[in-house]
Each structure stands twice: as structure tokens, then as C-alpha cells.
Amino acid sequence: MPIYLFIFRRILFTIPLLLGITVVAFILANAVPADPINANLPSNQLNNPELVEAFRREWGLDKPPVEQYLTYLGNLLQGNLGRSIRSRQPIAEDIGRFLPATIELSTVATILGVTFGVSFGVISAVWKNTPVDFLVRTLGLIGISVPLFVLALVGLTVFHAELGWVAGPGRLSVRLSPPPNVTGMYLIDSLLAGQWNVFQDALSRLILPSMVLALYITGMISRITRSSMLDVLRADYIRTARSKGLRERFVVLRHGLSNAMIPIVTAIGLSYGVLLAGAVLTESIFAWPGIGRYMFSASTGQDFPAIMGVSILIAFIYVVVNLVVDVLYYFLDPRVRAA
Amino acid sequence: MIAGVVSAQDETVLVVGHAESTDSLDPARGYTQTTGIINKVTYETLVTFPSDSASEIVPLLATDWTISEDGLTYTFNLRAGVTFANGDPLTADDVVFSVNRLANVVGNPSFLAANIASVTADDEDTVTFVLNAVDPAFLSNLSNSAFGITNDAQVIDAGGSAAEDAATADAAETFLNGTSAGTGPYILEAWESDVQTVLVRNPTYWGTAPFFDRIIIVNIPEAATQAVALESGEIDIALDLTSDQMPGFEGNADIAVASVPGNIVHFLLMNNNPDIGGPMSNPLVQRAVRLALDYEGFATLWGGINPGTIMAVGQQYAFTPEQGIARDLDAARALLTEAGYPEGFDITLQYPTFTFQGVNMDTNAQKIQSDLAEVGINVTLEPGELSVSLEQYRTGQQGFGYWFWGPDVLDSIDVLSFLPGGKVGAERANWTDENSEAVIQELREAARVATDPAEREQLFTDIQTYLQENGPWAPFLQPNVQTAFRADLQGYVWHPQWLIDLAILSR
Amino acid sequence: MSSIISLTPASARRKRARRIVSIFLKNPLLLVGSLVLLVWLLVLFLAPNLATHDILQQNVSVRLQPPSGEHLWGTDELGRDIYSRVLYGARITLPAGIIVIVIGSIIGTVIGAVAGFYGGLLDELLMRLTELFMAFPTIILAMAITAALGPDIRNAIIALVVVWWPSYARLVRGLVLKVKRAEYVEAAQCLGARRSYILWRTVLPNCLGPTIVLTTLDIGSAILTFAGLSFLGLGPEPTSPEWGRMVAVGIDYFDQWWTWLFAGAATASVVLAFNFIGDSLRDLFNPELR
């Protein structure tokens, strides 16, 4: 099957899923016992029927649910996620403001986590059942067992408050102005603008939260890499390669790792989802102005349009990441191409 | 952080660490402590207080004023040569527009304008207010930043309206949340909700130019994080510390501290409507709750005092901590038995998840739960997000709530809000003329208009004595305000109305 | 893959016991995990005997005291004994994680089994539904649900069950599809057994092993997520000695490390124990990986 046909079919398959996601988000947002009018209009406006009516009309609360949903979907297709009840800003704009911070954090954490995870996994598999293997596996298990919020607190107490090695919470020192907005990611934007001091400060603040997240990813990826490598290393073609007298390092990396990549790629895709979720905790401790913190204040503030917008967005990202993983399969696994 | 890094322009920057509570920066709509701090320097009022007290009324945008014989008409002469940040001159029309807009948008501070019958521009520089009733606190009232004068042309351009239908017609809030349209020493550059608020110096300010070019108020909800940020030099001043942290600054030559009694009173609300308050609407239960609280414990916990009544200690005629209620568990149990609850009862306490000036309400709620458990009242805690809980409280839907109060008006008559029919009394606790005693209503009416100091002292003493025995309030803590700042920062002084005047700080 | 539940004849009991001992000795992680878990289970049951103080007893005059003979792990911001509170915390966090996984795995297993066994449109429908719920990251969906239902311990558990069943549905469906083709199932069909009988009595028991392994691995992450939710204030009420909640309070006092470190370490140790056990069990049932 040619690549474009493959991608097209995949996209076609995800459409019902995407629709379903919007339905679930919509049901959740409307299964509220709290009255959104009471929660969001100032008290002295509640006595004014005109104002209450205006609010109802603005949020379509006067129409039947199905119609409300279709209106919502129509707006969604035009990129309009509605307005946040709390910030009174368009949600799409809010997301545009908060998402780059989360992407920056998650991407750095993924890069760190995958690098360490794959290396540890390979080491563990090659020296299987040795003390090295045991140590790496135990560390991997510890990585996925210590709560993120505990790691974050230990990190802040030790490396920021006590030792002063890294900067504290926040994305950038308040004394510095953010670099001119190009990608919304401070590391990239500051380099583009040649603002070296901004880059340094942003990096210093990124280290701790991304390390905390990366530890979890490392634990997850190293476990999967190890078992996947072990599977592959037992395979016939590896034995053939070895019998041909190829150097062991070459066999492991060229033949072993490249074939073990398929489950690892899946895990990386999955880990991105885990990261977005973990971001809620890390962002709240590190005062990171990202989508997780936005979601948290939306959910405690019963800002249902915003909850809906963020849930849909994150679910969409997850679906897209899976799509990308499928496409990578296409390149990694000849069997998919043949199917 | 990296030391010595400053903005490209070499500006002087003041960074304030603060637990943000902003609801809106539109002077006619915002009504929280953070809004007050910010609007104090972006807008100006006709009259104001001295920078360190509320002992007298001093001129600001008005240079002088006259009051009619009957006490109902106030005429103000405006200061000449004042311009808004965009260069427009200040005129009487701007004042009329701002006051009418405050009255008509039906925002949270609009009640402050309720007693104003009319406001008219006599000419370019003269404004006349006519009141519905005599109000000894009218000038104190006018000093609230809700009466900050906005540029009518700018606000109208942004969709603003001061007409009677302004509640629906006015659309300027979004604009005013993004920039300010006042005459103050600073201009609002940006408000990123929950992140930070940025102010820049108003280059055309008519008065003494402030020292700092730029002020950044960064939202740091946790007291501990504020302390660390201050020590590392990340922020210049931390507004919401707790007494626990003060000893940690001793011996640190870089940091100076200030601790003042403050004027915020933390209190319990017990709704007088039996359908909402349940057992808490029973006057005997209300008295029992007041006797069951461990006042000394709360004062130890935060560093503070037992407020004598709901009137903050320090207000004129207010009771002292020694005159406050003392804990008496036996008396409380007896009252509960008399009320028909010998075994106590179950009740839910609603309060916001919020830390104000370093006082974590969640911690206090747990102590309230534990204190009341000793007399058999079994409290379930129901924390809510600030804006959600605030609306339940403001609409009188909370049966048993925990809130704090800072005076709206720096005059003893502020306490009238808590009496039957008052803003807080009637709207939030359902304490009305129908379900209250005549004696307190008479005291209220007399206190509203009394001007003779001896008479006022007697009236407010009687009101407080009454409140210690009766009513839906159980005030239990007036925490000290703990502030710490970099030692080179000059000019910090706590103010009972606006808490801190950022424009008078320098380095 | 074999079921881990098998009946042992009495004569082989001693031999079996020796084998179990040797399994533990060969798997130090399994041994450590089981011991830690055993300790926590004991703590869970004996908390009232082991605690030195009333966990709700406040005393502001001894607040924020560092660990001492009187208060082994110090006191919190209201002068409560942290040691006793952490012990009692085991009674909340541990069962919450287990309940989530037990209910989630039962719901998931039933849905997955029905989908895999009956196939066709029903399968298609149920699997699309499963995928749908898998698309929402755990905490995000749980936060949306607790926002709608209100934050308390029961709603936190409901939210986590909603989040957790899909992975079991997917696993069990795959297993059922495999088992369905096995000879003994076909034999049962030939003998005219009812379809539902085949599903519940023949197919499902053979899917149990892998499901239980996944369960052990999952309890750890369910506990983590539950503690995370209550860390965010979306779990049990404020006075509760729930571990995540205790750590959250500790943020205000992070200089006083004992206010949060013990609760955090407790969470980590329980999760670690489950992960050690789950990991070892998985290896035991996939011996080819060793």
C-alpha cells in the first residue's frame, strides 16, 4: 500500500473516534449538578432576569442538549472552542497561550527520558541477569513508583532552596521579559532573538521539572526496551548475524535495536499522553503556566467550556500521536506495508 | 536565578510576590484585595487618606469641597492640570461618568454608590453629589478605588456605558482588564490571570513621579514559595507570609520584616434562614458556636489577635482583644442542650480553598472542625474554588460558611453591613428586619446618622455588646499582616484601606 | 500461558512450599516487594494499635515540631502526630487503589470478554467505546469527572474506575480471541454447550492469569493517580490523613521536611512494592524473557 493511501485510511478511521471524544466531553461538561448561572454571574445580577436571560442565550443554555451539542460541534469545526467563563477569553486563545509551555516541558522531558530509557534498556538486555541488569531494572521500577509530586518537592527543597543550583518555580524570571513570540517556546524563541540571558534563565528553570518528568519516562521506556530487546536478540536473524562473525556491538545496535524499535515507538507515543497528565501535577508545583495548570483551575472553578476545550484538545493530541506512531510502523515494519 | 540580569532597557523594576485574588481590574466591577492594590496606583479618587493611616480625609483629584447644611449635598472642585495617561485632561464629565457607571453596572462594589441620588457637572471643574440620606462615612467611601475616575471617552470607545442599563450595555470590562484608563502614577500593561500583573510608569503623571519604571505583581499562592523567592532575590517584597516564617529571616541582613495587626477579620457565617442554615439558624446554637471556638489557639497559629467582635480591632470604638469572647465549652454544651441538640448535630462548612495574607483557610477550617467537635457539632468540610465559593456566599446560599472581611469603609459604620438588612447581614446570612429584634434595628438606624462622638461611642459599644450575644457571626481571628522585603527597599507602610501603596516605594 | 490458580494435591504440598521459597529466593525483588506490602497490610489492620496519638487531636502549641521521642515523625501545622497519621493513611490510599483496580478490571474483563467472544457489530461497538476512553489521559478525565461530580473520595474512585477499565477490556478481548480458537473450546462447542457457559466457564478462566499480573502492576499506578488527585485537592476531605493530601499541605511548610517526606515515602514504598511484585510475576509467567 502506498504511504498516502495508508495515511488517508488511518485518518478516516480516526474520525468517528474524534467525534466520540467531543460527545464524551460534552456529556461530562453537562452532567453538572452546579448551576453554571449561579456560579458565574455576580450575585447582584442574579436578581435581574434580563441579565440571566442574556447569559443563557450566550451559552446556548436555553436550547435542548442535542442542539447545544451540534452548535458546539459547528463552532469547533471553525476552530471556535467558545469562551472561558472565568477568563472571559476565547478558549482557543487561552490554549494558544498555555500550550507552548507544556509542549516545551514535555518535549524536553521526552527527549531526556527516551535517551536514558533506551540506553538503560539496551544495557539491561545485553547484560541480562547480571548485577548491572538488576540495578537498572530496580532503578527503572523506582522511577515509575515515586510520586511525581514527591520528586518535585524533594528536587525543589534540595536543588533550589538548599543548594541553589537551579532556579525556582516559574518559566522565566519575572525580571526578564519573554522573548519575542515565534513558537511560544522560550528556549527556541530566545535563541532566535539572540537573547542569551533569557535562554540561560529559561533553561535553568526547565531542568528540574523536566528531570522529574523524565525520570518517570526513563523508568517506563527502559522496561519496555529491555523486554523488546530480549525478544529480538533471541531471534534467528540475530543468531545468523552473530554466526557471520559480526561485531557484537554492531549486532546489538544495528540489528537488535532497530528491530526492537516498534514497541519502543509505541511506548514513546503512550508516554506523551502520560506526560500531558503528569504535567498537571508538575505544573502546579513548579508554577509552570501550561495547559495542565489551566485545566486544573478550570476544573476546580467549574469552568466547563474550558474543561471541554482542554479535554478535547488533549484527546485529539493523543489520537494524532497514535496516528504518527502508526505511520512510523509503516516505515519500521515491512509487514504493515504489505497489508 | 541568574544574578544581575536586568531588562534590556535598564529599567528600575519592582517585583511583588502576592497571592492573587483579582476578580476584575475594572474599577466598577473588581472588588478584591488585589484589585484594590493595583487600582490604587492606576486610578485616583476625588479624596483619599494619608499614606499611613485612615485618620483623616485629604484631597487628591479634588482640591477642596463644601458640604451643605443638611449634609446631603457635596460640591467638589477638581484639581487643574490633571491628565489621563493618554493625554486627555480630567474634566467633571469624567467624574460623573465614572460614578454613574459604578452605580449602574451592578458590579460587586456598586453598593458603595447606592446612597448617591445624583451626580452632576456644574462646570468643567466642579462636581456636585446629592445623597439620599445623611452618611457620615461618605468621604471615606469616596476614597475607595471603586470610585477611581476613568476617562469617559476611552471607556465609551471600548464599549463602556454609564446609562441605567449599563449592567447589560456596558462592554468595557475586557478593555479595562487589559489596560487602565485612569490618572494614576502607573498604567496597567497586562494582567495574565493567575500568573502576573504588569504596571508601567505613567509618563504624564501630574504628581510626584514614582521611583520604579515597572512593577510586576507575580502570583505566588504559597507563603513558603514567597519566602524562598524573596531570599533568592527573585522578588523584592513578599506580601503574604505567615508568622512561622518570620524567625527564618532573623539575621539575614538582606531582608527587612514588618508585622502589623492588620484589619482583616476571619469569621464564621451561620445562615439565619432555617432552610439553608438548618440548626445553625438557631440563635442559641449561634451563641454556642461563639463560645466553642479556641480563640487563643487561632491567634497562636497565625500570630494575631482575638477580634473583640466582627469590627476589626483598630477601628474607632472597636472592642479590644481583651473584651473578646472567651472559650467556654460547658456553657456552649448547655446552650446546645437548651437549643434541643444535647447530642450535637451534623453540619457542612463551606469555604474557599484560599490563602490570604499567609493565612491558609483550609488549616483554619480543620481547626474549626476540631473545636466544634468538642461540643458535639460534627462538621464536614467542603472547600471550593474561590470564585465558585464566593458566589455561593454572596448569594446567601451557604448555611455555614467561613470567610474573612476587610472593611469596605474605614469608619465604624462599616459594621452596619453585618447587621439585619445590611449588605452582608441580609444578602449572605439572611439576617433581615423580619427575623431580627427591634433593639438591634433601632441601634442600626441611630448609628447610621449619628455624628456626635460620645453618642457614636455609646451606639457602637451597644451594637458590639449585642453582637457578642446574638447574630449569625462568629469572628475568631484577626491575623497580623506579615510582610518581608529586600532591605534596600524604602517606603513600605501598611495601609488599612489599600494594604500597600506601590507608588511610594523606592530603592 | 497458564493460570496461576491451580489445585495442588495434598501429597505435593511440601514440594510446592519448597518451590515457592525458591521462587522468592531467586527473585529478590519479589521478596522485597512482598515483605514491604506485608508490612503495610499489617499496618493497615493494626493502625489503632501502632498509632501513638489520636490522628485528629490538634494541639497548636506543639505544631511543626521536628521528629522526637514524643512525636516519632514530628507534628504537622496543627500539631497532629504525623507518624500516627501516616499509619492511618494506609487505610485510605491502599484500599482506594485496590478497589479501583478490582472494579475496573471486572468491568473491563466483562466488556472485553463479551466483545471478543461474540464478535461482530457488538465487538466493534464496544472496542470503539474502549478506544474512546483510552484517548483521554488519566488525570485529565478524572479531573473533569470530579469537577462534575464534586470532589470527595467516592467520586475520585468512580473517576479512576472510568479511566481504568478500558485497558482490561482490550487485554481480555485479545486473550479471548486467542483462547476461542483453542481445541478444548471448539470441543465444548461441538458438545453443544451453551455459548454463555463456554464464555464464563471455559474461556474466561483461561484469561485470568495475565489479567491478574496486569492487576498487580496496575494497583501501583492506581495508587499513584489517586494520591495525585487528592494532592490536587480532588480527593478525600482536608482532615483526612490521605498521603497525597498530606504532601500537598507540606508544600506550605517545605522547610519542615517531615511534614511531607514521610507521607511521600509511604506512597512511594507501597507503589514500589506492588511494582516489584507485578514485575516479578510477569517475568515468572513469561519465563522466556529471563
CA distance A97 to A89: 11
CATH number of the domain enclosing C71? 1.10.3720.10
DSSP letter, residue A253: I
pLDDT digits (tens, 9 = 90+) for B290-340: 999 999 999 999 989 999 899 999 888 999 999 999 999 999 999 999 999
Q: Neighbours of B (≥3 Cβ pairs closer than 8 A)?
A: A, C
Q: How many Å lie between the alpha carbon of C219 and the closest alpha carbon of chain B?
A: 29
DSSP letter, residue A86: T
CA distance B13 to B505: 11
pLDDT at B256: 94
Helix (H), strand (E), coil (C) string for B423-487: HHHHHHHCCCCCCCCHHHHHHHHHHHHCCCHHHHHHHHHHHHHHHHHCCCEEEEEEECEEEEEEC
Chains A–C, number of C-beta pairs less than 8 Å apart: 148
Q: Is residue C166 assigned to a domain?
A: yes
Our CA angle for C15, C18, C21, nearest 5°, is 155
Contact C96, C153 (CB under 8 A): yes
Partners of residue B232 in chain A, C-beta under 8 Å: 164, 168
Domain holding C205, by residue range, is 27-50+66-285
CA distance A319 to A305: 21
Q: Environment class of residue B194 by beta-carbon count within 10 Å: exposed (0-12), middle (13-18) or buried (19+)?
A: middle
Phi-psi region of A79 (alpha: psi -120 to 50; beta: other; left: phi over 0): left
Chain A residue with minimum CA distance to C143: A299
Confirm or reject contact between A131 and chain C (CB < 8 A). no
Judged by CB atoms closer than 8 Å, whether chains meet at A46 and B395 is answered as: yes
Partners of residue C252 in chain B, C-beta under 8 Å: 222-224, 242, 355, 360
Contact A303, A84 (CB under 8 A): yes
Candidates A44, A89, A162, partner chain B, best to mutate (most B CBs within 10 A): A44
Which residue of B225, B297, B353 is in closest CB contact with C233? Answer: B353
Grid coordinates representing C284? 515468572
Contact B361, B355 (CB under 8 A): yes
Partners of residue A307 in chain C, C-beta under 8 Å: 143-144, 147
Rounded to an integer, the average pLDDT of B400-419 is 90
- Domains of chain A plus CATH, in order, are 3-77 (no CATH), 97-300 (1.10.3720.10)
Confirm or reject contact between C267 and chain A (CB < 8 A). yes
Single-letter residue type at C101? I
pLDDT digits (tens, 9 = 90+) for C51-84: 999 999 999 888 889 999 899 999 999 999 999 9
Rounded to an integer, the average pLDDT of C5-34 is 77
Q: In this structure, how many other beta carbons lie within 10 angstroms of the beta carbon of residue C138?
A: 25
Name the strand (E) or helix (H) holding A141: helix A131-145
CA distance B135 to B140: 10
pLDDT at A26: 82
Confirm or reject contact between C77 and chain B (CB < 8 A). yes
Q: Is residue C250 assigned to a domain?
A: yes
CA distance A123 to A138: 13
User: Could you give the number of structural domains in chain C?
Assistant: 1
Q: Is residue C16 assigned to a domain?
A: no
Q: Is residue C14 assigned to a domain?
A: no
Positive or negative, the CA dihedral B216, B222, B227, B233 is: negative
Rounded to an integer, the average pLDDT of A70-96 is 80
Q: Is residue C5 assigned to a domain?
A: no
Global confidence as pTM: 0.85
> Which residues of B fall below an 8 Å CB-CB distance to A?
1-2, 5-8, 13, 15, 29, 106-108, 110-111, 167-168, 173-174, 177, 192-196, 216, 218, 220, 225, 228-229, 232, 234-235, 353, 384-385, 387-388, 391-392, 394-395, 397, 427
Instruction: Please check the confidence at residue C290 and state whether its pLDDT lies above 60.
Output: no
Judged by CB atoms closer than 8 Å, whether chains meet at C255 and B222 is answered as: no
- Domains of chain B plus CATH, in order, are 13-201+489-504 (3.40.190.10), 265-480 (3.10.105.10)
Phi-psi region of B346 (alpha: psi -120 to 50; beta: other; left: phi over 0): beta
ipTM of this complex: 0.83
Q: Chain A 211-270, CB below 8 Å of chain C: which residues?
A: 223, 227, 230-231, 234
Q: Chain C 26-55, CB below 8 Å of chain A: which residues?
A: 28-29
Q: Is residue C11 assigned to a domain?
A: no
Confirm or reject contact between C136 and chain A (CB < 8 A). yes
Instruction: Name the nearest CA neighbour of A229 among A323, A117, A327, A109.
Output: A117
CA distance A329 to C223: 33
Q: Is residue C203 assigned to a domain?
A: yes
pLDDT digits (tens, 9 = 90+) for A183-199: 888 888 989 888 888 99
Instruction: Please check the confidence at residue C98 and state whether its pLDDT lies above 50.
Output: yes
Confirm or reject contact between A161 and chain B (CB < 8 A). yes
pLDDT-derived band at A337, boundaries 50, 70, 90 = low
Q: How many Å lie between the alpha carbon of C123 and the closest alpha carbon of chain B?
A: 42
Instruction: Name the nearest CA neighbour of B172 among B188, B152, B148, B192.
Output: B152
Rounded to an integer, the average pLDDT of A190-217 is 90
Identify which has the larger pLDDT, B334 or C284.
B334
Q: Give chain C's mean pLDDT.
A: 85
Contact A319, C135 (CB under 8 A): yes
Contact C275, C222 (CB under 8 A): no
Q: Is residue C20 assigned to a domain?
A: no
